[in-house]
Amino acid sequence: MNGFQRVIWDFNGTLLDDAGICLECLNELRRRRSMPAIPLEYYLEHFDFPVKEFYRKIGFDFDAEPYDVPAMEWVELYHSRIWTDGRLHEGAEDVLRTLRDKGLSQGVLSAYHRGMLEKSLAHFNIRGYFDPVLGLQDHYSASKVELGRDWVRSCPTDPARIILIGDTLHDAETARAMGVRCALIAKGFQAKHRLFESGAPVLDDIRSVPGYLSAGT
């Protein structure tokens, strides 16, 4: 498709429509600490990586408790809901199938824990589309920049023929570090106007991806 040979997908927010679930879990943490709930609009305006710094900015006090306490509470809440309430973005599997049928290789690069990433891909019946599957080794959602950079160094595909598709400024940062192209989808964890700060193309919907790749813009 106009020179692209490989698509690397972010997972949460890009393929998986889970921003609402993530916010519900965060607001439960805040309720337990007598903190007010955050509305979705505020979340999309302020969510960022590393997640620890985002938590600090919205009022979590890591002098009172270490970050790993709310982080692991959040993980437990998320995993109690995602298997029943989680859904792929509408059209996501059709897009994966279309790109596969057009001969593109596809992989996943995520700040999600590697084991849970594998479990999630299997749960949503899309594991077979991806090689590689790259996730972090802990639950703290720090940075996937080094993970992506290390992978691209060992990948036989010319970086100019690889595109990373995500939904956050961190995805654009990761793509730059990898030396690959990037496009961002404005239906994930950050407001659309924020994504334009990256300089990367911003698509309204995952279903726009095949057309975008075919156009080669």
pLDDT in tens, 115-127: 999 999 999 999 9
| In the predicted structure, residue 172 carries a pLDDT above the cut 90 | yes
Question: Do residues 136 and 142 make contact, with C-beta atoms less than 8 angstroms apart?
Answer: yes
Res 87: pLDDT: 98
End-to-end CA distance of the chain: 11
- pLDDT the model gives residue 215: 86
Class in CATH terms, 6-17+87-215: alpha beta
Average pLDDT of the residues in 168-176: 96
- Residue 80 has a pLDDT of 95
Quick one: how far is CA 123 from the chain centroid?
A: 17
> What's the farthest any 2 CA atoms get from each other in the chain?
53
pLDDT confidence bin for 142, thresholds 50/70/90: low
Residue 20, pLDDT > 60, answer: yes
Give me the chain's average pLDDT, please: 94
Q: Is pLDDT at 139 greater than 90 in this prediction? A: no
What pLDDT does 28 receive?
98
User: What is the pLDDT, as a whole number, of residue 90?
Assistant: 98
The CA dihedral of 34, 40, 45, 47, to the nearest 10 degrees, is: 60
pLDDT at 57: 97
The pLDDT, as a whole number, for residue 134 is 96
Encoded amino acid at 11, one letter = F
Q: How high is the pLDDT of residue 1? A: 57
- Cα angle 108, 75, 136 (rounded to 5 degrees) comes to 35
pLDDT in tens, 28-79: 999 999 999 999 999 999 999 889 999 999 999 999 999 999 999 999 999 9
pLDDT tens-digit map of 198-213: 999 999 999 999 999 9
